[in-house]
Structures are given as C-alpha cells and as structure tokens.
Amino acid sequence: MSWTKEALAEAVQKIGARASTDAEFRSLCLTNIHAAIQQETGLEVPASFKIGVLDQSANHLNLVLPPVVREADELSESELESVAGGSKDGASDFFSGVGTGALAMFGHDTGFRGNSDEATAGTVIGAIITLPAALAQ
C-alpha cells in the first residue's frame, strides 16, 4: 500500500478512532506518532516527514492552517535561505552594470563606473544579452 490521499484519509480515521477509545494508544500517538501509524496501519512513515499531534480537549481549539500558496516557480523560505548571499549594494551594482552593459552596446554612456565584481559581472551580462540586437543594427 502506498501513501495516496485515500490511504492518508483512511489512516487518519483509523488512528483517530482507536485513540479515542484506547488510552495507551493515545499516549503513543502523542509521544511517537510514526510508531502509532505503523502499529495501526502497517505503513511506515519516513522519519523526515514531520507530523504534529495535538490532544483535543473540551476547552481547547486547534486551528490548522492550510499550506502556503506560492507561485509555481517561487522558492520557499528555506530554499531561499540556502541560496541567499551578497548584499543590497552588490545587487544594485550588478543591475546598474547590466544597464550600463546593455546601453554601451548601443553606443550610450550611462556614466556608471562601478568598480565592484558585481558591477563588472552585470556589465558583461548586459552586453551579452543585448549583443544580438546590437549586431542587428
């Protein structure tokens, strides 16, 4: 059996039903939900898959938020942190360099004379991306 939506719904129902009548199993759900799922369904959940368990009582309400909706190509916060680096000044220099390189290909001087690695890289990128249009003139 694999983890389909139907299998997940069935597992949640089975675990909830047993936890509502079996105090020992309920305790296992609170301390080791992965073991409880395997015991009740026979399915193993990867240890890296995080599952939160809340003990519902008469005077306690748990609100479950839906997943964050992102654009198809948008990075999550953890993905963004893993690739983030540099500084705001470096990004400004880079994009100013892109503009300078692009305009230089058409014979325009912007006056921007960045001396950082980011500015140099931006100037080269700007020249490269506009090269086909400049050659067509």
In the prediction, which pLDDT does 75 show? 72
- By C-alpha distance, which of 11, 78, 6 is closest to 38? 11
Distance CA 8, CA 34 (A): 13
- By C-alpha distance, which of 21, 47, 23, 25 is closest to 34? 47
Structure tokens at 28: 């296992």
In the prediction, which pLDDT does 88 show? 65
Domain boundaries along the sequence of the chain: 1-56, 88-136
In the prediction, which pLDDT does 59 show? 77
In the prediction, which pLDDT does 50 show? 86
User: Are residues 97 and 125 in contact, defined by beta-carbon separation less than 8 angstroms?
Assistant: yes
User: Are residues 12 and 40 in contact, defined by beta-carbon separation less than 8 angstroms?
Assistant: no
One pLDDT digit (tens) per residue for the chain, 137 residues: 567 788 888 888 999 999 989 999 999 999 999 999 999 988 888 888 888 888 877 677 777 788 777 777 777 776 666 566 655 676 777 777 777 766 776 677 777 677 777 777 777 777 777 767 656 66
Name the phi and psi angles at 20, rounded to 5. Answer: -75, -15
Q: Where does residue 63 fall: left (phi above 0), alpha (psi -120 to 50 degrees), or beta otherwise?
A: beta
User: Are residues 128 and 102 in contact, defined by beta-carbon separation less than 8 angstroms?
Assistant: no
How many helices (H) does the chain have, and how many strands (E)?
6, 0
In the prediction, which pLDDT does 97 show? 73
CA 124 to chain centre: 31
Distance CA 85, CA 94 (A): 13
